[in-house]
Structure 1
Amino acid sequence: MKLIRCKSAKQKLRAFSEAQAKWAPLQNVSGFIRQWGGWMETEDGPEAVVLVLWKSKHDYLNFMADHHDDIYERTN
C-alpha cells in the first residue's frame, strides 16, 4: 500500500482533481490493484488523500521506474 497526502490551494482544487483523473493509465500497469482518493479538510486547508494498493513492492518499484514519470508529465 502507498499513502499519498498533499495540500492544494483552494483555488486549485478543481485543477488538482482534473490532473488526478489523468492517472487512469495506472489501471493498466502490471501489479496495480486499486486506487482510492478524496479530500480531507485540515486546519491548514484542504488536503488530498490517495491510497494505492499494489500486488507487491516489486510491482510498485517497476511502476516508479518505468511508468510514473510518463503519466506525471501528462497531468500538467
Structure 2
Amino acid sequence: MILKLIKCHVPVNLKKSFQEAQTYWSDLSEMDGFSGQFGGWDTSELETAYIFSFWEDLSSYQKFMRNKHDRLVQINGQERTYERISITLYHREEPMVIPPIDQLVKCTISPKSDLKSSYVFSSIDHKSHTMRLTFNTNPSSEEVSIQLEKSWNVERL
C-alpha cells in the first residue's frame, strides 16, 4: 500500500480557492489501484492543509501520475491556491483496510522512531471517527491533529 502525504501552506486569502479546487479530485475514484483520499486543516497551524491519498501499489500510483494527474491540476487550477507544497510517499508492505472515509472527522499524525525506514507508515487506527497514522519521523516531532473537510473526500467506486 502507498500513502501519498501532501502538505500545503495556504494563505488565508487563498483558503476558499484551495477548498474549491480540492472538490475536483473526485475523478480519482475511477483510477485503477486508488483506495481513497481525504484531507483537512491542521488545527494548530491554520494555514496548513494535509491531503492523504491511498493507493494499492506504486505502479498504480505512477500510472495515475503519468496519465491523469497533470490534467486534473490544470482543470482545477490548484497550483494557484497555495504558496508551498511538500509531497512524501510512504509505503507499507502489508495491505490495510481503509475505514469508511465518510465517517472520519479528524486525523492524527503520530511520530514513531523505531520503524526501519523513514518512508514507512505503520498503522491505521480508526476509533471514534478519528484516523491515527503513525510514521517514522523525527522523535522530537509532535503529534499533529487535522480537522477533516468532508468535501475533500474521494472514495473508491
Task: Report the alpha carbon displacement of residue 46 of structure 1 after superposing the two structures with TM.
Answer: 1.0
Task: Report the alpha carbon displacement of residue 53 of structure 1 after superposing the two structures with TM.
Answer: 0.4
Question: What do the CA deviations read for 1:7-49 (whole angstroms, capped 9, x no partner)?
Answer: 111011011010010111111111111001001142xx51110
Higher RCO, 1 vs 2 (CA within 8 Å, ≥6 residues apart):
1
Aligned to 2:120: none
- The structure 1 segments of at least 4 consecutive aligned residues displaced by more than 4 Å after TM superposition are none
Structure 2: unaligned runs, 5 residues or longer: 78-157
CA distance in 2, matches of 1:21, 1:7: 18
CA distance in 1, matches of 2:54, 2:25: 14
Structure with the higher fraction of residues in helix conformation: 1
Aligned residue pair count: 74
Amino acid of the structure 1 residue aligned with 2:63: N
Query: Normalising by the residue count of structure 2, what TM-score does the alignment of the two structures yield?
Result: 0.46
Alignment of 1:24-39 (within 5 A): 24-39=26-41
> Counterpart of 1:50 in 2: which secondary structure?
strand
Query: Normalising by the residue count of structure 1, what TM-score does the alignment of the two structures yield?
Result: 0.92
CA distance in 2, matches of 1:27, 1:74: 16
Alignment of 1:14-33 (within 5 A): 14-33=16-35
Structure 1: unaligned runs, 5 residues or longer: none
State, as a whole percentage, how many aligned pairs show the same letter.
31
Q: In the alignment, does 2:49 pair up with 1:48? A: yes
Aligned to 2:70: 69
Task: Report the alpha carbon displacement of residue 74 of structure 1 after superposing the two structures with TM.
Answer: 0.5
Say which one has the larger Rg: 2
CA distance in 2, matches of 1:2, 1:35: 9
Tell me how large the CA RMSD over aligned residues is.
Answer: 0.9
